[in-house]
Each structure stands twice: as C-alpha cells, then as structure tokens.
Chains A and B, each alone.
Chain A
Amino acid sequence: MKQYSNVIAAYSVMIILIILVGIFQSWSIALTILNYCLISAVMTMGANIQWGYAGLINFGIMGYTALGGLAVVLISVAPVGEAWSVGGFNMMICIGIIVAMIFLIRYVLKKIEKSRKRNYLIASIIIIGLLLLRFISAPAIESIESVDPAKTGFLGGLGMPVLFSWIVGGIFAGGLAYIVGKIALGLRADYLAIATLLIAEIVVSIIKHEEWLARGVKNVIGLKRPAPYEIDLQTSSWFINLVENFHSSKLKIINSLSERQDVLNQLVIEASSIYVKLCFTGLFLLVVIILLILTQKALYSPWGRKMRAIRDNEEAASAMGKNVVKEHLLIFILGSAVVGIAGAMMVTNDGLFTPGSYRPMRYTFVIWVMVIVGGTGNNFGAILGGFSVWFLWVQAAPIALFFINLLTSHLPETNEIKIHLINSAPYFRFLLVGIGLLVIMRYRPRGILPEKIIKQ
C-alpha cells in the first residue's frame, strides 16, 4: 500500500480539482474537462508505450489521432449511394491498382537481383501506376465531389455502429505505424522525431485535401453517438421522472404549478446534457481501465522486461538474441494503435470530424508534455500526465486572468498594458505548459510518478 501512496495522493488532487471546477464553474464544464482528460490519458498511454517502454520517440501523434478520427467517419456514417454509383467503381479499381503495385514491387524486389535495372523497373512501375491512378480517379473524384456538395460530396462510410470504429481507428493507426516503422525506425532518435513529425503532416494534409474521402476541410458533422441524444432524453418520461425525484426537495418549495413546470424543464435540459456526458465518461473510463490492465500486465510480463532491456541497452539485448528491430516495430504499432483509438474516441465525443483542426502543437507536442510530466514508463504516471496537463491547458486562461487582474488591480481600467494583457490571457497556456515541461525536465526528469522497477 505504501508504494502506491503517492499515486493515490496525486490522483486525489486531480479529482478534487475537477470537483472544484464543478462547484465553482459548472458540472457540465467539469465533465467536459474530465472526458477530455480521459481521452488525453489514452493518447498519453499510447505515447508512453513507445517512449517509456522502448525509448522510441514518435512525434507523429497527430497523424494517428487524425486517422482514428477518419475511421469514425468511414465506419459510422451512412454510405452515400449516389456517390458510390457515380464514382465508386473507379475508386475500387484504384484501390486494386495500388494493391497490384505493391505486389508487383514486392515481386520485383524478391525475384530480381539488386541492380540498376531493378531500380529503373521499380521507378517505372511507380510512375505508370501513379499516372494510371490519376487517369482513372480524376473523373470519379470530380463526380463524387459534385454530388450534393453542401451536404455530402464524399463516398460516406459503411453505416456500422460507432463503437466498432474505435477498434478500426486502432487498426488504421497501427497500419500506418507499420509503414512508418518500416521506413523510419532505423534512424537515430532525433531523426526519428523529425521524420515522424513530417509524416504525420503528410497524413493530415491528405485527409484535408482528399474531399471524396471524408469531405476534407469541409468537415463532417452530426456523427453517430454511442450515447442517447439530449432531445430524446428531454421528451422521455422516465428521464423527466428521474430528474423530478432527484430535485424533489428543490421543487417542493415552489408553490405555483406553472413556475414549477418551468423550473423542471430547465433542470431537465441541464440534466440531459450532463447525462450524455456521463455516458461518454463511463465509456471512456472503461477504455482507460481496460488499457491500464493490459498495459500493466504487459509491463510486468517477460515481454515488458525484454522491452526495458532493449531500451536500456540495445547492443546487449541484441547480443542476448533478442530481435531488436522486430520488437521496435511491434511496440511502435501497438502504441500508435492506442493513439488511434484515442483519436476515434475524441471525434465520437465531439460528434464532428474537422481535419483542419489537426495541428502539431495541440496533438503532438502537448501530448508529449503529458508523457514527460506524468512519468515515462509508468502507466499511472501517463494517465496522471494526461489529466494534469489537460487540466492546466484548459484552465490556464482563467488562472492567468485571475493573476493579471490581481497584479494590475492598481491600474485604471483604461490602461493599455492591462487591456493588452487581458486580451492575451489565452496564450498563457503555452507559457504555463512550457515552463511546466522545463521545470519537470530539470528537477524531476523522470516525471511526477517515475517508473518503478519491481524486483522479484
């Protein structure tokens, strides 16, 4: 129990902070923050698997998050029949061509010896394939995008349940990680960081500009939800009864019947949004707990020990017969898949997919700050990092505003510096997060909850 005391203390502080937000701001805001904290925790766990277990630096979190989000659109949105009929066939042929290209190149790589001829052959396969793709897809894309462009203009998805898309998001991200890993994992650590950062940028720019796929920057709104809709709740009698019972003491004081009805309506509207958020919280909590159990089991299994050995001394581990390359690739895929799941969860929570909002600052660097601050190699630390940094990120502006008002209270309201500072309050979040990262790296380089090695 004693060894867990600091974990419990840190988590209690976090929970108290969120409860304080609930009391002083509103419960709806507190739950929104909590949901995002849970999503961030999943992302952080993914990054922690790569960095904490294996020492792989992945600055491409943004790309995997976006792919997870794309999976939600491709799986849960109802298919657009008209678009499929005008362009679906050509797009299917294009997929066939890509698959054929891959197999042809693999075949050439296997059968022909390494020579200049082989390089030319591969280059010509790629060029011919690309030209063919362009030739076949261009008219199809044009006709797909012209199908009711204000509402659809894309192929749509498969119309399957949205929860299934979380798994698919993980698979998509894992697939991308396989390709990226094959290309980049041999690089030295900081090269890997730059390469993954840039590859993520490519992925996002493809999602942004291929409008036939997921409407690109035109966004997809009104995605399916695994939770009930507020409107349905507000009209269902069981929910109204529930709210009435819950607030019965408050309602009894009001005498006038019509007034009581008004108050009740207000309460039902508030409660419905909280209820929906609670449903999401439950789902996210479930994901976090499942992942936590799995990652804890993995960390303390022989496999986890092997990963730590590889992380701490690659040469020694490979001398002992461990396949370093293979293990690195595996862990890169696993971590990215977890990030992909988080991306899908986030889009589901928002109910909309906005490729334009994927920026490296928010989706890569902040997540990395979470990993470093929370504690590398410690799953509880990773979750705590997700919670605390996200909380700071959201609440930095109110905190900054409070201090600005405090420090400039002697200045008149029209003072230019004061107005300028108050207007720039939102940017203090960068300052707080940056200073937080620098301080933690300097004075507690292994994070708030450092890695624990249990000696057996």
Chain B
Amino acid sequence: MSRHTQENLASVFLLVVFAGVIWMCQDFGPRARMVPQPLAIFGIVLTLIQLAWHNFGSPSEYQMDMISVQAPDIPVAEVLDVPVKKASWLREAAAYGMIAVLLGLTFVTGVMPAAFLFTAGYFMVTRYCSWQLSLVYAAVMTGSLYLLFVVALQMQPYHGLLAPLFP
C-alpha cells in the first residue's frame, strides 16, 4: 500500500473518530457537550482540509513552519549515518505483536512475571545472548523492578489470571 493511500486511510479513520464523538455528544446535556462537540466539528474540518491538500494540493501548502531556520548544507544521510534496515511490514507487524505478547503475558501471568518472561524471551528470540545469560539478565531486571516498585513504592502487584490456580 502506498504512503499516499496510508495517509488517506489515516485521515478517514480520524473522520470516523470525530464523527463518532459528535454522535456520542448527542446523549450529553448542553453544558457537557459545549466543548467536545464544536471541537469534533473543528477536527472534521481540519481533517477534510488535510485530505484535500494531500490529494489535490502541493506539499508546500501544508508544510508551514512559523520559524524557518537555515541549517548548513549537510545531507541528512550524512548526519544520521547509521545503517538502518528497511522497515518492512513484517518488522512492523512484529513490533505490534511484541506489544500484544507483553500485554497478554501481563494479563495471564501478572506484571512482574510478564516482565521476566518477556525480557528473557526477547533476548532468546533475537539471539542477543545465550539462554542462560538471558535468564540471568531477565532475573536481574525483574528483581530490580520488584525492589523498586513493590518494596520501595509498596505497589500491590497484579497476579494475573492464572493466580487462582496457585492458591
């Protein structure tokens, strides 16, 4: 999918969000919707202009900064000269998956075990180090988090959905 289409999809998504806000505002009293409703309408107007400029205008029309700074002629590629692998959709999907896995682990096992399992698993999957070292690093990290949050800040940890199985 081209960047152009993606931008359009993002704008359409925003339109749906703002329209949803206006629809939900109908259930509120006049004072409760006094700010959100006009704002959502303003949001729709902004998004429509953005859509129009994106599809029918030149890029210079919507790239406006109030402060213009003359930076020296150093090519961006030279400034940020780090070898960057192309961010394919697969890597992006993996990043979303990573967040989903950590979230799932947190719900199932609880906050602290999830941090341990995720860290150890990530090190192993990415082959950052051997599995033994992965476990050690993860244990040190989780231990530090436990000391900081549970012992020092007296946080009551969430024990996860599996907790009732281990009374």
Are A and B genuine complex partners? no
